[in-house]
Amino acid sequence: MKSLINKINKILISKFGVPNRNAAEMDPVDVLIATILSQNTTDKNSYKAYKNLKANFKNWNEVASAKQKTIEQNIRIGGLAKQKAKSIKIILNELLKQKGKVTLDYLKKLPNDEVVSELVKFNGVGVKTASCVLLFSLNRDVCPVDTHVHRTANRIGLVKTKSPEKTFELLNKNLPAGAAHSFHTNLIKLGRDICKSGRPLCTICPLFKICTYAEKNMHSISKVTKNDFLLLDNV
Ligand code: SF4
């Protein structure tokens, strides 16, 4: 599977480019909260919700002591505000209680599996969120698996799994060194723009030749809309 991942990674890089990576290491608490806010919403709305929190509170300590209703109002645009506000408040207060301040810096010394075990103890944090913290703030070579990565990896034929957790386990066991960030980011792009959930645009897909799903789901070129091509021109 490793050589196939390598091949797919190269094809996607030649199509979409090497994804930007923030030179500065992102704070793990920032990534954790941003990832919780990104659940079940668009990037645009979760980013606005995150920005509201950053703009309206001095720091995470202040969010921890804010009323849940106030947090909810700030993140409403990202949906599931009540649930997310509750998780965020519990996590921040738990960190305050355990560490004396809101910090996840202690994770930097731990191996990947221990980081995941530590994070999934928190209400509202699953393996996907924990692996985003690993990849985006601790700079570890781990590929988080969201709905797009799970769907595309199965369609392409990299895995045959029923759950994102199993996909995560198999992909990460076979991930070539240094591939995680581009592979994760570009598979999401593929899933959003081409290998869409209801209507995969196989005829314009860069993985058409190696994808095992292509023949079963051939969509004639006539079904590819002008917008699909415009969208591809802009990637
Ligand atoms: S060929 Fe079709 S099913 Fe396969 S990855 Fe591309 S869009 Fe998805």
Note the pTM of the prediction, 2 decimals.
Answer: 0.84
Is ligand 1 within 6 A of the CB of residue 92? no
Q: Which atom of ligand 1 is nearest to the CA of 201?
A: 7
Residue 222 pLDDT level (bands cut at 50, 70, 90) = very low
Nearest in space to 57 (alpha carbons), one of 43, 67, 46, 44: 67
pLDDT tens, 211-221? 998 665 565 45
Q: 64-94 in b/e burial notation, b at 16+ Cβ within 10 A?
A: bebeeeebbebbbbbbbbeebbbbbbebbee
Torsion region of 206: left, alpha or beta (phi above 0 gives left; psi -120 to 50 gives alpha): alpha
- Per-residue model confidence (pLDDT) at position 154: 96
Residue 40 beta carbon below 6 angstroms from any ligand 1 atom: no
Q: For residue 28, is pLDDT > 60?
A: yes
201 touches ligand 1 (CB under 6 Å): yes
Report the distance separating Cα 186 and Cα 43, nearest Å.
15
Give DSSP secondary structure letters for 127-143: HHHHHHHHHHTS--S--
Domains and CATH numbers, the chain: 2-19+143-233 (1.10.1670.10), 28-136 (1.10.340.30)
200 bridge partner residues: 195
174-178, 186-190, 219-223: lowest mean pLDDT where?
A: 219-223
Query: What residue has token string 């928190």?
Result: 122
Residue 155 alpha carbon to ligand 1 centre in Å: 6
